Chain A
Amino acid sequence: MLKLGKRLSLLLLLVVSSTAWSELVIRVTQGNDKPTIVAVSPIALNGIAVKQDIAAIVEADLERSGLFRATPRRDMLAFPSRSSEVYYRDWRMLGTEYLVVGSMRAIDGGRYELEFSLLNVTAQKREFKHSVRGRANEMRDLAHLVSDKVYQAITGIKGAFSTRIAYVTATRTNGKFTYRLNVADADGAREKLMLESPEPIMSPSWAPNGKDLAYVSFETGRPAVFRQNLVTGARQQLTNFKGLNGAPSWSPDGSKMALVLSKDGNPEIYQLDLRSNQFSRLTRHFAIDTEPTWMPDGKHILFTSDRGGTPQIYKLNVASKATERLTFRGNYNARASLAPDGRTLALVHRESGVFHIASFDLKTRRLIELTETRLDESPTVAPNGAMLMYATKQGDRGVLAAVSLDAGVRYVLPARVGDVREPAWSPFLR
């Protein structure tokens, strides 16, 4: 009974905290030199009560990419909701290159349909018409789907606005720590608490299906790897070895997990077969081997090792166990995160005592520094390869920031309370 009471109060706390600390707020600090001007006309609601301003969410999505600037709503001469209502000349005078119009209607079973079009103002023609359907509580999802379609039509790159990020926050009050694992939309909205613990939570990693997360939790008093389903909340402890149990990374087909165990005396990369629950050892070296990440072919793993004297990135052939050192510039290159092209790596690089995020081209072996702050870590690349998110410090506080892979676009997502760290960008979810 006592235990049930405790559980209930914990649950209450979870509910309260998820509203009190919700919403990361985004500031774009640097954009593209010549952004495309796009106008998003307010969506015609036809009497349907919608709490969110869908057009404003789409504008914010597109602006956050750094490639677009939105025509301010106050400058608009009319709010058309279908292409037949559009006077192209009015929009051309505002400098608008593309216009999004749309309208909402109720359909069966409490669901709504948002039909929208992308109009090319310069060419005076419709690029496409599309409709998205969802429930009343899915208006943000509908908005992000609009952003994805518009972004892809204009840039040719698949939009990643409908994706999510997982991250860890830590707060300390009266010497007591609270660690939280959260999942939010890629724009920081709709933050949901996955797990709360007085002991550290680390290294969130998405399953390729976008429905499971693996992470490290110290809740048993020792580090252990867990997996948790986002939809059901069901959790499963995957490891319970002496020493380190860390750095989980799902294989591209989701059937295996690479992770780090030090049960043999020092940190080695292991592979866990998630069907048979069998562990097999992949590295054999007295140095530190850690931070495995799979390459898209499922046959190679990149990892960090200090076997050469300083931490550097190595490539491991899973079948032959052969390793090859990839990075040589500087005395600290660690925690590789691979872009979906399978060729560009984001990593943590130290130059003159300062830790930056850098990109590393696996083909040309060229390393380019992308960030200018000094304690940058945990890079994670968006599934469309356009941006990467990382953790950095503002004053004494940990915040998340993002930069495009060509370093032209930057934004920061500060949290209201505590340190935010270890972002993990989800795969495409639909």
Chain B
Amino acid sequence: MKTSFSKTGLATILFSLVLAGCSSAPVEETSTDIEDTSVQTGQVDTSAIDDSAMESSADTVFYFDFDKALLKPESRAALLEHAASLSSNPRSVRLEGHADERGTREYNMALGERRANAVKEFLVLQGVSAGMIEVISYGEERAASYGSNDSAWALNRRVELK
């Protein structure tokens, strides 16, 4: 018993104090009242959510290496095609950045955003108006492939153009 509490010196002291208190002082008689701590459910207004229409000819998903936000060479051809189409035919697009499940959720939110920004910078350099591009990160919250293995993770480290 004693060894398990020896980690915290304070706990041991408190322990002895409690024992000491009990052996000398009269029996402690105390009471506690419960206050209402019931839990109420909140409401989401789902009417505000809309799915934006998708319009594509070239690949719209671009993949990344673990903990990296560098565009891969194989993404280049499709991105150039999108850049050309968006420059000549401006429309607003959304870049959704994602991460695989490894690592912490908020860090992965940041990583997903960094990846989406890498795609955005490429498109802007090719002449697409930055104002037409919205970047949003989902981190690891929206996996494309389920499973805790290399092939699933590779499919989840991605940016989707929508």
Contacts and interface: CB of A to CB of B under 8 A. Distances in A.
A267 B110 contact: yes
A90 interface: no
A230 B11 contact: no
A210 to B, nearest CB: 8
Interface string A211-236: 10000011111110000111111110
A52 interface: no
Contacts of A33: 4
Given A128-B22, A334-B107, A156 B15 contact: yes
A132 interface: yes
A375 B101 contact: yes
A129 B107 contact: no
Given A246-B109, A262-B110, A192 B28 contact: no
Contact of B111 (A6, A11, A288): A288
A3 to B, nearest CB: 7
**By DSSP majority rule, is chain A's interface helix, strand, loop, or mixed?**
mixed
Contacts of B146: 396
A189 to B, nearest CB: 13
Nearest to A393: B148
Contact of A198 (B16, B30, B49, B111): B49
Contacts of A25: none
- Give the contact-size bracket for chain B: 35 or more
A210 B36 CA distance: 12
A348 B39 contact: no
A203 B106 contact: yes
B22 A127 contact: yes
A272 interface: no
Interface string B116-160: 000000000000000000011111011000111000000000000
A385 B41 CA distance: 29
Contacts of B15: 155-156
B89 interface: no
A231 B41 contact: no
B11 A155 contact: yes
A18 B40 CA distance: 12
B33 interface: yes
B154 to A, nearest CB: 15
B46 A198 contact: yes
A194 B44 CA distance: 10
Contacts of B31: 130-133
A155 B14 CA distance: 8
Interface in A128-167: 128-135, 138, 141-142, 145, 152-153, 155-157
A133 B4 CA distance: 33
Contact of A267 (B1, B45, B113, B141): B113
A218 B13 CA distance: 48
Contacts of A288: 107, 110-111, 114
A14 B46 CA distance: 14
Contact of B43 (A10, A199, A221): A10
Contacts of B56: none
A203 B108 CA distance: 12
A156 B107 contact: no
Interface in A215-264: 217-223, 228-235, 243-244, 246-247, 260, 262
Contacts of A211: 37
A405 interface: yes
Given A127-B22, A267-B113, 7 more contacts: A7-B43, A130-B29, A133-B34, A134-B33, A223-B109, A246-B109, A430-B32
25 contacts: A32-B4, A34-B3, A67-B4, A120-B22, A128-B29, A130-B32, A131-B30, A132-B33, A156-B14, A156-B15, A195-B41, A195-B42, A197-B46, A198-B46, A219-B44, A219-B46, A220-B48, A222-B136, A247-B106, A262-B110, A267-B110, A355-B102, A375-B148, A429-B37, A430-B35
